[in-house]
Structure 1
Amino acid sequence: MIRTLLIDDEPLAREELAILLEHHDDIEIVGEANNAIEGMAQINQLKPDLVFLDIQMPKITGMEMLAMLDPGTMPRVVFVTAYDQHAVAAFEKNAFDYLLKPVVESRLATTLERVRAAQSPQQPLAEVLGETIRHLPCYQRNTLKVVRMEQVEYVFSDLSGVHVATAADTSHTQLTLKVLEERSPLIRCHRQYLVNPEAIAAIRLQEGGYGEIETHSGQKLPVSRRYMKGLKQTFGFQ
């Protein structure tokens, strides 16, 4: 069961979402909260797997609340909002997904499929793709994408999952960084980043053994001291 908490200052909005969630047998609503303060207390007490969080709430907004949670123990958070312009900022603050009000049942189902996939073991998918991964199964909202490995500039992880960046856009994948490092041409430059060597245009050296990669499309990635030596050797630098 996916233990779920609803946080919204509008009782009717919580009720409507709860009715939609009743259609999913693996969703267990363990609590509801009227505001961010109550919501944080219930997260600490109930330890939910999933939180549906309204953005516009009095005193403390959903954005502000998310920033106050401990990243190490934070559940997956799905923003529920009537304002589409908040969506990009939501992902920047590590929300797992977002839904627009009024919530559409099919869009909610897509979000829940992502939640289930994120909770499932990664190894079976890796086995289906074979020993050498030549394309990545990705998704953007309700669109399934097939991204060829040569299109990938870099891959990175955060609290909302693993993201695949090309020169054109960014999408999500269910594969882990570990699997991609072992079975693809991508190399590690940071604990949270893998990069395609073919996408690297320059490596800028910084103090303390750190660095920064610039890709051919102009994106900048961090390089940690641990991986700097191997990265330089890949291109023949001493």
Structure 2
Amino acid sequence: MLTAIVIDDEFFAREELAELLHETGEVEVIGQAANAIDGLKMIHSAKPDVVFLDIQMPKVSGIELISMLDPETMPSVVFTTAFDQYAVQAFEDNAFDYLLKPIDPKRLKVSLQRLQKVKATQQTPHSEEQINALATKSLQQVPCVGHQRIMLVSIQDIESAYSDISGVHIQTADKQETSQLTLKTLEEKTELLRCHRQYLVNTQAIKEIQLLENGLAEVITKSGKLVPVSRRYLKALKLELGIV
């Protein structure tokens, strides 16, 4: 039995697909989400075999959501779209499956057969090259979640990012937000630079670097906040800033 999450901003589209999957007897729908950010959180917590993902959604699209996932741990992805077959040929060429809306139960069955083969052989559903061919190379905004809201924070406004037991936190000059993205994804998809095992820093936001004992350091940002720099990353930070 495959486990699945359905992500679509249209309620009736989600319900219809969930019902079709239930009727096959081959899939357990363990979650539904109305937007990419809630879907991202659900993917991280539930770890489904497959995500049925709408392409066109407000604020954060399905394509952008793919960019936010770690290629090494991401589930299989089946796009659901209203595009015609010629428009989605690029997705097929990159080994991503897709379903045209309204979804044909026969076409869904074909998709499930492919997914069952992947699960049976424990294959990696998508190579990193295939994902990168489709996904956005870099993120210009970082989605952050709050009570009944989704904040999109521009990379240029971020001073630092750090992780702790409660998640990944995005720090700007005047506020702190929480993101579902991992530090690894932020490091790979943005210009934020690793300066500590648990911290990334925006070099454009650095006002001063204080050198401490034992090869450690602290960054002081333009808004006056402190960001630790470990021995391991101090040399790379200095090189990035042109400091010999």
TM-score w.r.t. length of structure 2 = 0.48
Kindly indicate whether structure 1 or structure 2 has the higher relative contact order, using CA contacts under 8 Å at least 6 residues apart: 2
TM-score w.r.t. length of structure 1 = 0.49
